[in-house]
Structures are given as C-alpha cells and as structure tokens.
Structure 1
Amino acid sequence: RLALTVARNLYKLMAYKDEYEVARLAVDPEFAARLTEEWGEGATPRLKLHPPALRAMGMKRKIAIGPKAMPAMRALARMKRLRGTPLDVFGYAHVRRVERALLAEYRDVVRRLTTDLQRTGPGGREAIWYDTAVELAGLPDMVRGYEHVKLDNVERYREELTRLLGSLRTAEPPTPSR
C-alpha cells in the first residue's frame, strides 16, 4: 500500500500542468483530431488562457487564442527543456516555486517514513505507524486546482502534514524488530 501510494503521489507532484505542458497539449495532434471529431471539420478552436504575465499586469479575464497562435504554442512546447533552469521564465512564479518545494518536501517525508518503518516489525503499534505513514504518503492528493486554489490547498496539505507527523512523534515509538 505504501509503495503504491508514494508512487501515485510522487507522480502527481512531478506531473503538474505548467505553461510548457499546456502548450504541448494544445498542439497535440490527438487533441486536434478529437476537436475535429466533436465539432466538425470547419470548426475554429480557441483556447482560453490566463497567462501569468498578463495576470501580473492586472488582467482579470482569460484571453482566447486561435489557430494563428499555434506556431507560438509549438515553440513553447519545445521549450520544456528550460523547465527548472535559470532560463525558465515561468519557473520564477510563486506557484511554480511552491510546486517545486512540495516535491522536495514530499521526498524528505518519504525518506523519513521509510527510515522509521525499516526499524519496525509487523503487528501492534507498528500497524498504526504504517497506516499513518500511508495516510501521510497520500496527502499530496489534497493539492488540486490552479493558482490561488492550489496555493490554498497547499496550506491545508501542510497543516495536515504537520498534524500527522506530530501524531507520529507523540505516539509511542515502534519497537525495533529483530
């Protein structure tokens, strides 16, 4: 249970939808085929986006971009190699920094949990610790939404993380197995 929960949630934290991923999805040929299938050959798709740069300048509404913007979207999709580098202009946004910090925090929590669990054996208090470890490993599932919704959920996640880690600290430590 723990391994599957960690794998799912680690993937979730690593696979967030940033600007490069949105661009990749927008120019995906399968996406275009689904649009044509659903809306017909002559339909003109428009993507509704709220770019962080425009939001920072005070724009409150999304903008619609059409087929003329697809070359720029293709270029942006290819720029995903910049993700996480100093040249990643989107990576400086607060929400992107929080997303990267969450990944590092989660890896640290998983290391602590697995180290503690390696010292335990089956049964009794150890089962309680294991169940709490699985619950801790599943907490990233709370982090959903975009921008301020996501940031609010990160606060809730961190509060719950602190509470559960505290419950492990105050509980009687597991007896090492021999």
Structure 2
Amino acid sequence: MTDLLRDGNAARATAEFRLEDYRRKYFPSAVSRVTGIFLFDDIDSAAQAWDSEEWSGHFNSDYLTDVGVSADQSSRHDSTWITMMRDDENILVDGWKEMAVGYWSGKAASDQPIWERIIEGWVTIWGVDLKARALKEVQQYWPQSLPLLAVAANSSLVGSCDGAIMPHAIRKGIHH
C-alpha cells in the first residue's frame, strides 16, 4: 500500500482504483486488492514471481517467510492478468476490462499461473529470523514505537487486535 501511494506511482494507483471500482460493480464478493492482504498461494507461484521481469522491484526475497493465515474471506487469482492489463507505465491497456473478468473470476491467464491469495483476516509471521530483523529495524529507526510493538505482541497472544497494523484508504467525493 505504501508503495502504491508514494510519489511517482499515480498511474499505478489510478489503475488499482479503477480495478477496484470494477470489482465492486461486477465481483463484489471478491476480496479487494486495495484493502486485502496479498499472499502467494503456493511456493511455485512465489518462485515464478521472483524469476519474472514483470515483478522485479515488487518483492524483496529477504522478507519471504512462512506465515499462518486466519482468513474471514479469501479470493484466489492469477496475478499474470494484472501484468497483462497494464503497460510499462502502469496505465491500463485497451481491453483491460475483459482481462479483469478473467482475473476476478479466478481463471488462469496462461499455463503457468502465478496464484495470489487475497484475504480479509490476519497473518501471523512464523519466521523467527524475519521477526528478529524487524525488531532490530524498529529499534534502530523507530525506537519510540517499541512500547506499541510490545502491546501488539502481547495482545496477539490473547487474541486481541490491539496494536494491529493495517492499510486503510478513504474515498472522498466522486471522481471520474
């Protein structure tokens, strides 16, 4: 989400919000790309994404880890459709709506799909190494956040959502 909202990504944000409008209108039961949590559905899909030129810059293998998922709702999609419906400048191409039908329907775009799972719910990071590196980063760059991190960690142990971190977008007004 932060990458999407950073300066220089206006075309990508526009494409995502147009795709979100399309989902709301035609596939309302599918989980939103804007508010959902993205996961690779299987290790083969993760490996394909890392090897693909279209995905370069989107993922850092330092953060690849096993997770536990508690999903209230999920949708499974071939993310290849997303790369097909945007050009090199992240602008939606002609015919993107037809491709969006394939994406939101959960159809494979090719014989080598890159399956992503979008969930509404919670993800628990199991990788201890990743947790330790994240703690060091918080200690180095945001030491004032350590008490909040302690609240979040302790809250999760008792099943509370206090201290949970999640993206949130608010639409203001009608824009065409």
TM-score, normalised to structure 2, is 0.23
Q: Which of the pair is proportionally richer in helix?
A: 1
Name which one, 1 or 2, has greater alpha-carbon Rg.
Answer: 1
